[in-house]
Amino acid sequence: MIPGMCGRFVQKDLKDLADAFDAQLRHDLNPRLLDPRFNIAPTAEIGVIGLDRAGNRSVTSMRWGLVPSWAEDAGGAARMINARSESAADKPSFREAWQKRRAVIPADGFYEWSQTGDRKQPWYVARSDGRPLGFAALWEVWRGGGDGPLFTCCILTAPANDEMARIHERTPVMLMDGPAVERWLSPDTPEIARHGMMRGPVPGSLLLRPVTPLVNAVRHDGPDLLAPYDPETAAAPVAAGSLL
């Protein structure tokens, strides 16, 4: 099944991503998260940046797909990988996390799908300056299972800017600099300021290119998924560096 808005993303090197956001890897982090991953799908375990008890940034393991603390079971996680930023503060599933449990999901880039007729074409989206992306995220802890607490998260989305609107009407909320990350994570940032951050990046911030439909199947995971690809010729790559 082809996912919807921000349904796949890339974490090539979690240690490098942590360094880029001045965060430390937790000592109990699942070591499998340190492996390069080029096709992370909903309900996967991912690296997420938050503040520890001392107020320092740390990278911890969470499952992608938020499970509210009051949920009877964790089965609905795949339906809540994203939350609309316009309504998250008021929705029962996200309201408390918006107030108290904010995080940043670091990524090298993400995939989005455009549709022409009955055909969906995957695109890879990354920053034009080559730096990593930081998705504004919410997290929760669910204690309804028998295996200890389950930590889960979701990505906030906003209306697409002109660049993203070419392929989708929504975009992940991206924290594009250090001060934005600081404001989002800080418990002292007023709610009105947090709402003001819920928008797409400025024009020129992103590069988008079509990539192979192999990304549609989560079993495919490797750097070849990011190779330039020309959908008109079905398999022939376009010239290197010709990001659209």
Residue pair 67/61 in contact by the 8 Å Cβ criterion: no
221 within domain boundaries: no
CATH number at residue 121: 3.90.1680.10
60 within domain boundaries: yes
Rounded CA-CA distance 168/8 in Å is 14
230 within domain boundaries: no
The number of C-alpha atoms within 13 Å of 135 and in the hemisphere containing its C-beta is 34
| Residues designated catalytic | 6, 112
Of 51, 16, 62, the closest CA to residue 35 belongs to 16
Tens digit of each residue's pLDDT, the chain (244 residues): 455 567 899 999 999 999 999 999 999 999 999 999 999 999 999 999 999 999 999 999 999 999 999 998 888 777 899 999 999 999 999 999 999 999 999 999 999 999 877 888 999 999 999 999 999 999 999 998 777 899 999 999 999 988 899 899 999 999 999 999 999 999 999 999 999 999 988 889 999 999 999 999 999 999 999 998 988 876 444 333 333 3
233 within domain boundaries: no
Query: pTM of the prediction?
Result: 0.92
For 197, the domain range is 8-206
Q: Where are the alpha helices (DSSP H) in the chain?
A: 14-20, 95-100, 178-185, 191-196
In the chain, how many domains are there? 1
220 within domain boundaries: no
179 within domain boundaries: yes
38 within domain boundaries: yes
181 within domain boundaries: yes
